[in-house]
Amino acid sequence: MSLLYKNVKQLVFDIDEFIDTVEQGVLVFKEGVTNYINGDKASFADKIERINRLEAVADKLQRKIDDEFYRHSILPQNAGDIESMIDKIDEIIDIAKDNLYQFDDELPYIPNELTNDFIRLTDTSTEAALYLFPAVRTFFREPVKVKEMLSKVYFYEKEADKISRNIKRRLFHEMKDLELSQKMHLRYFALHIETISDKAECLADTLSILALKMSI
């Protein structure tokens, strides 16, 4: 009960900032992958640095939000669900950062025939996550409207699945010149990029259940 109005205002601000940070992280990931595929090394290095910074900010904010929820027993009946939701949001930026670092560490060779596919996969996968954030913001203000906002997330997730499968098929069926190791390598990168939309879908499921619980 010691939670004063001033603290609530700060916490609302922190949650909004946390969502904004993760959203920016996804955008940076999208740009970073495009930069890598286009061979723009300077911009790619810049994206790595930015996503690293954003992830650190998101982690700090998440810890702060968690602390506030526990200390003031905010929304006691739903605190656990909300914290797990925030955890899943943070996972998205963690994965985005890891994936970008994997590009930097492993330097996968992407043949020209597949560049467009990889760019499309990145766009679609990140799109699923980007459509999720407005729904998360709406959840805190109008839980009833969340469900209708999630349809695009599910759509883009399925699209990302299709593109990823298509890349894998082309790799193993059409790309005879590539070594098996290269094929395997690229297969994993398609999987890494696709993980962003998978996580978005998982979060969308959690969000829709939570919104339903809150609106009863």
Q: How many Cβ atoms from other residues are within 10 Å of residue 9's Cβ? A: 10
Binder among 24, 40, 43, 74 for another protein (CB under 8 A): 74
Residue 38, CB-side half-sphere exposure with 13 Å CA sphere: 11
- 3 belongs to the binding site for another protein (CB under 8 A): yes
The distance from CA 65 to its chain's CA centroid, rounded to whole angstroms, is 19
From 40-48, 69-77, 90-98, 177-185, span contacting another protein (CB under 8 A): 69-77
Q: How many Cβ atoms from other residues are within 10 Å of residue 207's Cβ? A: 25
CB of 210 to another protein, least distance (A): 10
- 209 belongs to the binding site for another protein (CB under 8 A): no
Considering the complex, state which of residue 70 and residue 109 has its C-beta at the smaller distance from another protein. 70
Q: Which of 171, 28, 18 is nearest to 86 (CA)?
A: 18
Binder among 42, 173, 181, 216 for another protein (CB under 8 A): 216
Q: How many helices (H) and strands (E) would you count in the chain?
A: 7, 0
- Which residues within the stretch 121-150 sit at the binding site for another protein (CB under 8 A)? 139-143
Rounded CA gap, 131 and 115, in Å?
24
From 19-27, 68-76, 89-97, 167-175, span contacting another protein (CB under 8 A): 68-76
Contacts with another protein, residue ranges (CB under 8 A): 1, 3, 5, 8, 11-12, 15, 73-77, 139-143, 214, 216
